[in-house]
A and B are shown apart, each in its own frame.
Chain A
Amino acid sequence: MTGRLKSVALALLAPAIAIVLSILVTTLVIAAVGSSPGEFWSTMFEVPKPRLRVDIVNQTAMIYIAAVAAAIGFRMGLFNIGLEGQYTIASFAAASFAGAAYLGGFANVIASLAVAMLVGAAWSGIAGLLKTTRGVSEVISTIMLNAIAVTLVGYFLNNYGVKEGNTVHTKNLEPSSTLGGFSPFEDRDGEIWALSIVALLLGIGFWVLLNKTRFGFDLRASGQSESAALASGINPKRMILISMMLSGAVAGLIWMPALFGGARNYGTSFQVGLGFLGIAVALLGRNRPVGMLFGALLFAFLSVKSNDLTFGTDVSPSIVQITQGVAVLAVVVTYEVVRRWRTRLEQRAVSRELTGTTAGATS
């Protein structure tokens, strides 16, 4: 086996073990409460109906955007736990701006996306500033900012939103500003939202940024060793602030496909939890553009397909939350184990070459 093949096999080993483990744990949990795991898996592995296939694509897009946002921070060694708050407040701001219809048609969409990115960046920028100027851990400050964002949005919505029966929402988008999408199947099966394309663009953009630009190199260098980065002339504080704000700006886009595709306002249709799913998928995919795509697809598939469970089985759909959580924990553990194993293999190889005999290997 050549070195490259071997490293690919090693890289795939960890996710494979993690998936097997999460399937195992899920099966055990279902069996423990007295339901039938066989029924569960056969329902989950049926080919999804066209409507669900469309849903899976849409969900994959949103989760993927969230994963890219998380990965920008992770590659820099920053934990942006605050994606949840950033996209909540950014979605609300963008929906309000779009609903006010200062601009018409497509210009309104572009301007609203800019608002979402700016607000997301500003919100994460608070955490970035606190870290660079006051040394506050971004983990704690972003957790606090999550809670503040949710209550703040609740306040504005209750006081300035449009009331309709028991629900409150922002002003509806003008028909000229909704983008719709394209229907791969029949019309009743729904549309793949136009802005889902943003996910693809972000994925490509993220790859180019990391691998082809000076900034991407600085980012990865700072993430791996801050002191080495400093020695090669990178300003770590500037990098922290920029990558934190970049992460927040991307987070601002998370819910935009849904807003301009189907929801048309910020209200009960707002989907919470995408931020944490994005963090999980970034971990699952090792912060690599392609890896995260598979992760996002897997998570979207589990979430959407679990809706089928309510018909025909007695397993509740929330079981997939356990599957997802176990998958993340298992994947980070197995990556660590594989990494240690690989280091040991390399150490052995080196010592073999140095001594010329396997007997000299120490480990």
Chain B
Amino acid sequence: MSATTATTGRKRTIVERLTTSWLYIGLIGIGVVSFVRIITDTDDLTGAGTIRAAIIATCPILAAALGGLWAERAGVVNIGLEGQMILGTWGAAFFTYHYGPWVGILGAALLGLIGGLLHAVATVTFGVDHIVSGVAINLIGAGAATYLAEAIFPDYEGGGPRQLNGLEAPAQITIPGVSDLANSIADRHWFVVSDIASVVQALTTNISTLSLLIFALVIVSALVLWRTSFGLRLRSCGENPQAAETLGINVYLYKYVAVLVSGALAGIGGGFLALVASSGFSNGQTGGRGYIGLAAMIFGNWRPGGLLAGALTFGYTDSLRLRDTQSVHSLLLLVAIGLLAFAAWRAYKRQVTGALVVAGAGVLVMAWFLLTDSVPREFTVMTPYVTTMFVLALGSQRLRMPAADGKPYRRGSAG
């Protein structure tokens, strides 16, 4: 691959860039988690079961976040991700029941795409405010899925007005040799090595093909948006649509494509919830994950690597609420260490007030860890939301969204 970026004179392929910075951050992260695991003696923290649950919790958030990335890179804010995801859960259930899981996933994407189409017509063609349209689409999505389920599913085998159970899930994959080897290493509970082995084990044992597909979509999206002329044009519509128009780009077309892809990705995320994360459709099963996906994307600074990290963080905390409270409790130590390290970094950068605020939070969390034995389940549920608020509050100056994101654009406005 000969693609290079014009701005960094040096040749760096995308693989190189992903591996250099993210590899180090990942390694440091695993190191700290491993450290906490050993001193608090909670092997469940990185057990293969936990990692598997985390991957399952991550995938829907990741798909929604990717959907947000596509739309917002083209300058359309898509609050309607939640509604498109809800439509996806219904689509997956309906099409899987009739034609099997793979058509079911296509059906989920199709229903999400219809939600995206509504959003595109309202925001791109008619110039309606993006948030307003998104709120309306969430109402329609929730209403449509509820009504269609009540009207159709009671007649199906395993169905009722609010659910459809017993759907066939997409195939699972196990890589025999690697899986067993990783399993034996993970059981030794060595520092760092066993934690990595746990991750390898979870990734090679009974992993759903749909999970792999969603992870692959991150790489595909990154390549398409940043390494093709199509992607460059699409992103230019999000940065400066007037300039794009003067260069002969059909801005409406690119925005339409982006919002349709966005809806389809959110729909696939909904499909994952119905087919893999649980054994069927149930009303209201998205539980705000569309919004979390949006938050993960902002957390990740409108970048594929960043939103992957965001989705993994949220997915990991999301999965922990299902597990024992002791491992959540030991996670407090992890948060405290993280906050104190961040405070030290701020102090090093001579941002005194910021450092003091973060250090104060770190000391509080540390005190919470030392003075209690368990964390109420509700606080674990809250974690992703509170984290997002913190990240936005502390890092909003550092985040850079597409310059024309959410702004109305009309053809011919370039003068």
Residues of A within 8 A of B (CB): 29, 33, 35, 79, 81, 130, 134-137, 139-141, 143-145, 147-148, 151-152, 154-155, 158-159, 276, 279-280, 283, 315-316, 318-322, 324-326, 328-329, 332-333, 336-337, 340
Binds A, one of B168-176, B217-225, B301-309, B374-382: B374-382
A151 touching B382, Cβ below 8 Å:
yes
A318 touching B143, Cβ below 8 Å:
yes
Contact string against A for B residues 375-401, beta-carbon threshold 8 Å, 1 for contact and 0 otherwise: 010110110011011001110110000
B136 touching A318, Cβ below 8 Å:
no
B295 touching A140, Cβ below 8 Å:
yes
B131 touching A139, Cβ below 8 Å:
yes
Number of A-B contacts (CB under 8 A): 134
B146 in the interface, Cβ–Cβ < 8 Å?
Answer: yes
A144-B388, A324-B139, A329-B137 given as contacts; is B393 within 8 A of A136 (CB)? yes
- Sort A-B residue pairs by CB-CB distance and give the 4 closest, nearest first: A321-B143, A325-B140, A325-B139, A155-B378
| Most A CB within 10 A of own CB, among B77, B161, B288, B385 | B385
Which of A144, A322, A333 contacts B140 (CB under 8 A)? A322
- Report the Cα distance A35→B152, complex, angstroms: 11
Contact string against A for B residues 269-295, beta-carbon threshold 8 Å, 1 for contact and 0 otherwise: 000000000000000000010010011
A316 touching B376, Cβ below 8 Å:
no
B147 touching A319, Cβ below 8 Å:
yes
Which of A35, A147, A336 contacts B126 (CB under 8 A)? A336
Q: Main SS of chain B's interface residues?
A: helix
B142 touching A321, Cβ below 8 Å:
yes
Nearest-neighbor residue (CB-CB) of B140 within chain A:
A325
What residues of chain A lie closer than 8 Å to B392, measured between beta carbons?
130, 134, 136-137, 140-141
What residues of chain A lie closer than 8 Å to B150, measured between beta carbons?
316, 318
A134-B393, A140-B298, A148-B385 given as contacts; is B144 within 8 A of A329 (CB)? no
Which of B126, B148, B381, B386 contacts A333 (CB under 8 A)? B126
What residues of chain B lie closer than 8 Å to A137, measured between beta carbons?
392
A141 touching B389, Cβ below 8 Å:
yes
Q: Main SS of chain A's interface residues?
A: helix
B118 in the interface, Cβ–Cβ < 8 Å?
Answer: yes
- Report the Cα distance A321→B145, complex, angstroms: 10
**Distance (Å) between the CB of A347 and the closest chain B CB?**
14
Nearest-neighbor residue (CB-CB) of A319 within chain B:
B147
A283 touching B389, Cβ below 8 Å:
no
What residues of chain B lie closer than 8 Å to A130, measured between beta carbons?
389, 392-393
Nearest-neighbor residue (CB-CB) of A126 within chain B:
B389
| Most A CB within 10 A of own CB, among B147, B161, B381 | B147
Count B-side interface residues using an 8 Å CB cutoff: 48
B335 in the interface, Cβ–Cβ < 8 Å?
Answer: no
Nearest-neighbor residue (CB-CB) of A144 within chain B:
B385
| Most B CB within 10 A of own CB, among A79, A159, A319, A325 | A325
B25 in the interface, Cβ–Cβ < 8 Å?
Answer: no
- Report the Cα distance A154→B118, complex, angstroms: 35
- Report the Cα distance A322→B147, complex, angstroms: 8
Nearest-neighbor residue (CB-CB) of A138 within chain B:
B131
Nearest-neighbor residue (CB-CB) of B132 within chain A:
A332
A143 touching B140, Cβ below 8 Å:
no
A81-B131, A155-B378 given as contacts; is B139 within 8 A of A321 (CB)? yes
B378 touching A147, Cβ below 8 Å:
no
- Report the Cα distance A319→B146, complex, angstroms: 8
- Report the Cα distance A154→B388, complex, angstroms: 20
What residues of chain A lie closer than 8 Å to B122, measured between beta carbons?
329, 332-333
A141-B389, A325-B143, A332-B129 given as contacts; is B135 within 8 A of A81 (CB)? yes
What residues of chain B lie closer than 8 Å to A315, measured between beta carbons?
151
- Report the Cα distance A81→B257, complex, angstroms: 27
- Report the Cα distance A124→B131, complex, angstroms: 18
A283 touching B288, Cβ below 8 Å:
no
- Report the Cα distance A322→B294, complex, angstroms: 24
A135 touching B397, Cβ below 8 Å:
yes
B378 touching A151, Cβ below 8 Å:
yes
